[in-house]
Every structure is written in structure tokens, then in C-alpha cells.
Amino acid sequence: MTGTVSARKKLRFDDHPLDGVEDILGRQEWHYARLNRNEIFMDLRGQYGSYNILFLWEDDMAALQIGVEYHLRIHDAAYQEACCLINEMNGQIWAGRFVLAGETMIPTYRAVHLLRHIQTGREMTNILEDLLTLTIDECDAHYPAFMVLASEKTHDEEQLALALMPVAGMS
């Protein structure tokens, strides 16, 4: 199919959606950098480790993309196992997906949220807050499995299953 998307109306928000993200990050006293009008970058310490998080806003689609790169590198020998595990993980999560680039071997969580019909202001901020919480929770829940795969030690299916089990708390 050929053509352009110029028939789409460009959205006009009173507030830019990333302004709402900045508001949330500021209230949490998290350090971030607004790279430009449509990008925010931050480094965040999660429950088990750290993440690089990039928020990207796409005006024409009214879409927010959240990319979370783990501060882990999957061991080269575990590539096939990691791909199988990521496929299993992706089948169980609702909003987003994990990817593993073969050249970097760094697990990344990506989610795109379409926000075209969401009003600005408090409604938008509440939704953004929920999306950020969901994203961090997904990344934290899967961090132990990626830690196992990042280890040079041999591991078995039982270790990975244990790493994927939900926990009630930390000791």
C-alpha cells in the first residue's frame, strides 16, 4: 500500500505528555534529562538492579514508547536459552515485550501506548503514572531470570523457573 499519513490530524495537547512524565519523575525525586521536546532519559535503580529508561513521544500517532534497558549483559553461551525465555515471558505479559539484540546481548523491555483519546492534565498524569509503575514492575519481576542468564555459571531449567517465581518480599 502506498500513500501518506498526512490525512491524520496532528494532535494538539495543552500540555505535552512528557511534561506529565517529568511531573511524575520530579515528585519521585528521580534524576532524568529532557533530551528534547519528545525524549526523556533516566537511569533508575529498581528492586534488583539498574535500568536505562527512555521515554519517546510520537506526535502523529499520539504514542508514548517506553524503552527499558537492563544494566545486564546476557552471557554469549546463553543466547538461545535467553531467546526461548523471552518468548515465554512475552506470552505472559499484557503491555509490552522483551527483546534481546544479538549484537549487545542486553535485555530490553519495550512498550508503546497509544494515548490519542486521553485528555491532558490529571487524567493523563494518572495514566502515565500507571504505565510507569507497570513498566518498572515488569522489569523488576523478570530481573532475576536475566541475572541467571548473565552469569557464566551453568544453569538449568529449574533455576530459571525459580528465578521467574513471584516473590512476596525480599530478605
Distance CA 161, CA 144 (A): 10
- The per-residue pLDDT for range 10-69, each reduced to its tens digit, is 334 457 889 989 989 999 999 999 999 999 999 999 999 999 999 999 999 999 999 999
Is 1 part of a structural domain of the chain? Answer: no
Q: Which residue has the higher pLDDT, 128 or 107?
A: 107
Is 11 part of a structural domain of the chain? Answer: no
> Cβ distance 102 to 124 under 8 Å?
no
pLDDT at 132 over 60: yes
Q: Which DSSP state fits 104?
A: T
Is 169 part of a structural domain of the chain? Answer: no
pLDDT at 139 over 80: yes
Helices (H), the chain: 17-27, 79-90, 122-150, 157-164
pLDDT at 163 over 60: no
Is 4 part of a structural domain of the chain? Answer: no
Q: Which residue has the higher pLDDT, 50 or 165?
A: 50
- The per-residue pLDDT for range 69-112, each reduced to its tens digit, is 999 999 898 899 899 999 999 999 988 999 998 899 999 999 99
Taking CB atoms within 8 Å and a gap of at least 24, the contacts of 86-92 are 89/142, 89/145, 89/164
Least confident of 9-23, 80-94, 116-130, 151-165: 151-165
Would you state the pLDDT for residue 158? 64
Is 61 part of a structural domain of the chain? Answer: yes
* Sign of the torsion angle spanned by Cα atoms 113, 116, 121, 126: negative
Average pLDDT over the chain reads 83
Is 7 part of a structural domain of the chain? Answer: no
**CATH number of residue 154's parent domain:** 3.30.1460.70
Is 30 part of a structural domain of the chain? Answer: yes
Instruction: Quote the domain boundaries for residue 37.
Output: 17-164
Domains: count for the chain: 1
pLDDT at 118 over 80: no
pLDDT at 171 over 50: no
Is 23 part of a structural domain of the chain? Answer: yes
pTM assigned to the model? 0.81
